[in-house]
Amino acid sequence: MKVALFGASGGTGKLLTERCLAAGYQVSALLRTPAMFALRERVRVVQGSAFDPDSVRETIEGADVVLSALGAKSLRKEDVLERAVPLIVAAMQATATMAKPVRRIIVLGSAGALASSLDKQPVWRRWIVQNIVYNTFLKWPVASQVSQWKDLSQSDLDWTMVMPPMLTNAAGRGSYRVDGEALPRNGSRISREDVADFMMRQINNPEWVRKGVYLSW
């Protein structure tokens, strides 16, 4: 299995890299600063930015699956997903006529991407999350995830958007709630380890292709 990995140096991306290597997969990782990435000797490094079409193309070349755990490092407006996801989608779509098209992509999104994500929450919690969290301090991360959702759902790729609530660095529990309609009731957090575990499982799972899927403890 050849995996193209975006965001390998991030919190969830590092865990995905470790899991891919443990599974015996070949990993192409797009890295802005490879020297800072401890696993650089064990992956095919493409040095560059996800805002550069050539670097994105080089990363996905020959891949069986694309994984992305890209994101901004702050809560400010950084437009990482707004700029990178269209380039990834375009690079994948450009392989359509090649002998081996790159069609499968699994991305780390967020429960904030869709308004219906809160449909299973108690009314008080829905109000707080929508009005105090999503509309204020998570405004820009949420806008980025809305953009990522649009880019993927309007593409003809075999995409899966994994949509967790708050991520933590706690140890994975190995069990979590999965829901295709909305965030599970009172779901407020999940560890990056469990998210990475679920994303890896989607590589060979057709269940959530062309869908978003919510994940929570």
Residues that bind ligand NAP (CB under 6 A): 7, 9-13, 30, 32-33, 49-51, 69-71, 73, 80, 108, 110, 141, 164, 166-167, 192
Beta carbon of residue 22, minimum distance to ligand NAP (angstroms, whole number): 18
DSSP SS3 for 105: strand
User: What's the min distance (Å) between Cβ of 109 and ligand NAP?
Assistant: 7
Minimum distance, C-beta of residue 29 to ligand NAP, in the bound complex (Å) = 9
Which CA distances in Å does 122 have to 82, 111, 180, 188, 214?
Answer: 31, 16, 18, 12, 17
Residue 58 is classified by DSSP as H
Min CB(60)–ligand NAP separation in Å: 13
49/95 with CB nearer ligand NAP: 49
Beta bridge partners of 122: none
Q: Closest CB to ligand NAP among 30 and 39?
A: 30
Q: Compute the least distance from the CB of residue 97 to ligand NAP, in Å.
A: 27
CA distance 86 to 79: 12
Strands 44-47 and 166-168: unpaired
43 vs 70, which CB is nearer to ligand NAP?
Answer: 70
Q: How far is the CB of 187 from ligand NAP (least distance, A)?
A: 11
DSSP state at residue 155: S
**Which residue is nearest to ligand NAP, using beta carbons?**
10
- As a whole number of Å, the end-to-end CA separation of the chain is 29
Q: Are 194 and 217 in contact (CB under 8 A)?
A: yes
- Residue 100 or 138: the one with the smaller Cβ distance to ligand NAP is 138
Nearer to ligand NAP by Cβ, of 166 and 170: the residue is 166
Judged by CB, which is closer to ligand NAP: 52, or 100?
52
Write phi, then psi, for 54 (nearest 5 degrees): -65, -40
Looking at the DSSP assignment, which residues form a beta bridge with residue 166? 189
